[in-house]
C-alpha cells in the first residue's frame, strides 16, 4: 500500500491530517494532539472562570468592609454627635423590634387555628353593643348570640333604655 499523508496545522493547536490511499479517496482524521489541546483550553477557561468568581467575592467583601470602616469613622468624628448617634441607633432598634413583632402577629393571624385555639375562641363570651336594637348582647367568640337571663325589673329598664335610645335617634332624623 502506497499511502501519502499530508498534515495541515490549523490554528496552531489542532492537527488535521489528510490521508490519501491508492485509489485516491481522501479520509480525514483528527489528531490526538487536537483533542488534548481542546481539553487544555477548556481546563484553562474553567480555571479562569473560578478565579474571576473568587476575585468578585473578595471585591464585594472589600467594599462592605470599606463601608463599615467609613461608618465607624463618621461615628468617631465628634463627641456631641456620638450621643445623637446612640439615640438614633436606640430608636432604630426599637423600630426594628416593633416591626418584627408586627410581622410575627400577622403570621399568627394568617396561620390556621389549632383545635385548642378554636375551642378557646368559641368559649369566650363578650358583651357587645348592638346598634340596631340599642342593647348589650352576649356574643360567643364564634359570633353566636346568647340569650341573657335577667329579672323582670332589669328587663323593664333595658327596654326603657333601648326605646328611649331609638326614639331619640328617630327624633333627630326627622
Domain ranges of the chain: 4-41, 79-111, 122-173
How large is the angle between the packed helices 32-75 and 79-110, nearest 10 degrees? 120
The residues, any chain, with a CB within 8 Å of residue 10's CB and separated by 6 or more, are 16
Task: Write a three-state SS string for 127-158.
Answer: EEEECCCCEEEEEECCCCEECCCCCHHHHHHH
What is the DSSP pairing of strand 135-140 with strand 145-146? antiparallel
* Tens-level pLDDT at each residue, the chain (174 residues): 445 554 444 444 445 555 555 555 554 454 556 777 888 888 888 888 888 888 888 877 777 777 777 776 665 556 667 778 888 888 899 999 999 999 998 888 888 888 998 888 888 999 988 888 778 889 988 788 888 888 999 888 888 877 776 666 666 665
pLDDT of 1: 45
Cα torsion 42, 48, 50, 54 to 10°: value is 180
Distance from the Cα of residue 83 to its chain's centroid: 34
pLDDT of residue 54: 83
pLDDT score of 25? 52
Cα–Cα nearest to 92, from 103, 100, 104, 102: 100
Give the model's pLDDT for residue 84: 80
Q: Looking at residue 169, what is its pLDDT?
A: 64
pLDDT of residue 2: 47
- The pLDDT, as a whole number, for residue 174 is 53
**Is residue 30 within a helix (H) or strand (E), and if so which, with residue range?**
strand 26-30
Which is it for the CA torsion 154, 159, 161, 162, positive or negative? positive
28/6 Cα distance (integer angstroms): 10
Cβ proximity of 141 and 134 under 8 Å: no
Amino acid at each position: 500500500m502506497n499511502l501519502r499523508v499530508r498534515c495541515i496545522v490549523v490554528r496552531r493547536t489542532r492537527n488535521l491530517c489528510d490521508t490519501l490511499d491508492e485509489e485516491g479517496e481522501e479520509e480525514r482524521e483528527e489528531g490526538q494532539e487536537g483533542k488534548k489541546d481542546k481539553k487544555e483550553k477548556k481546563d484553562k477557561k474553567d480555571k479562569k472562570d473560578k478565579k474571576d468568581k473568587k476575585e468578585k467575592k473578595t471585591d464585594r467583601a472589600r467594599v462592605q468592609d470599606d463601608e463599615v470602616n467609613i461608618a465607624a469613622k463618621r461615628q468617631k468624628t465628634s463627641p456631641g454627635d456620638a450621643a445623637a448617634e446612640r439615640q438614633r441607633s436606640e430608636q432604630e432598634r426599637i423600630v426594628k423590634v416593633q416591626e418584627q413583632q408586627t410581622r410575627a402577629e400577622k403570621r399568627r393571624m394568617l396561620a390556621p387555628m389549632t383545635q385548642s385555639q378554636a375551642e378557646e375562641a368559641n368559649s369566650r363570651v363578650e358583651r357587645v353593643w348592638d346598634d340596631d336594637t340599642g342593647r348589650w348582647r352576649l356574643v360567643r367568640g364564634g359570633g353566636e348570640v346568647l340569650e341573657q337571663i335577667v329579672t323582670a325589673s332589669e328587663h323593664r329598664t333595658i327596654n326603657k333604655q333601648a326605646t328611649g335610645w331609638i326614639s331619640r335617634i328617630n327624633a333627630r332624623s326627622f
